[in-house]
Structure 1
Amino acid sequence: RPLLEEALAKRWPVALTYGLTEATSQVATAPPDEVRRKPGTVGRPLPGVEVAIREPDAEGVGEILVRGPTVALLPPAPPGEPGVRLAPSGWLHTGDLGRRDGDGDLWITGRASLRIVSGGVTLEPGEVEAVLLRHPAVRDVVVMGVPDESWGERVVAVVVPADPEAPPSPEEILDFARGHLSAAKRPRELRIRSELPRNANGKVDRGRL
């Protein structure tokens, strides 16, 4: 999100897309004018492509399903299979989470496999990360759940400081979180790192944290 904000501030034309290999790469696209009007949306589905939200919660967030001529003919997988799978109905279960707004635009909120259940409350790491990134002393952050005997999972934030020579204290970031997140969504632990480990695709390698 900070990179998008920088690009928009410099008036660079940016188009945001959402897709996956099993759907021939592209599912939805937001052209530059749409991105400027609604930063963060990936736009509406391409012509002929259907998008549905499976089991949406109170905020309309659920698993993104895709159906259409661009979906690969995968062998149908049992309902309990993790990851991307094709249902007998032809809907591709992406394992991604998102919602659609009143205009029909799609917003990506995270991965179902990364959801954290802490004290009986389900939360999206991306929502917590977006809040912590608003702190001026935070350059990068990842939020994850770690096993906890009392809570099931404990919310942990790993922060990369904007200024390595003057990193914020964990207490400073946690105080910021208290002012912007409900008690159930606040990190219970904060770790400072110089960098976040990433894989070849540029995604955070949570297994190395």
Structure 2
Amino acid sequence: MKTNSKGKIARNWLLGSQSLNQHLRSLSSKGFWSQVFKEYISYQFDSVFKPSYFGTICWTPFLFEFNEAVKETSHFKNKFLTALCDCKLYQIPHLPDRPRIIFFHETKETLVNPTSSNPKYKRALHTHFHLEGSDKIPDVHYLNMLIQAKVRPGFDRLKRRDTALHKAIVIQDWIRDFHADYNLKDFCSNRYRQDGDLVIDYKNSDLG
């Protein structure tokens, strides 16, 4: 498989984590990266933390580069944690005194000019996140209201008005049977594209 520099960095980080065991190293040496990714994510949800909420972020204007999604996600995470913890950016608690979050950036064929008579599609990025529960989050309804009231205002990529067909952010209760492997499909289908083997946002995710 053709490997770019970002892919090498991500893989070196993954394999260098003290949380990973020899089994993952053995799989990687044989080129079984889909299995490595699957078991690494399973390890997060089985041994590091159990998510309570699953979110989807649809960025507008659309994002087409992985590093753009990482930048916007960093901004989202900072706004969310300062709102949740009711604090300044520099006061955000360190783990484990705040909930963990893991972010994934996926690509999908997207209609980028819906009002044109000559429709054009491009692969645009959207973001999923798996969020740990917290005594600061009584339920999914509170979480959704917090994001709508404290995170979206002033956030350029999330300011487009919601419609019946398009919502900037959708929050759900996390269901293991549906969400634990949710992001594996994009990893497997896009691993041969440029940056397709990244998928997981290593910079912004609270990985164990």
- Structure-2-length-normalised TM-score: 0.32
Choose between structure 1 and 2 for higher RCO, CA contacts under 8 A separated by at least 6 residues: 2
> What TM-score, normalized to structure 1?
0.32
Q: Greater helix percent: which structure?
A: 2
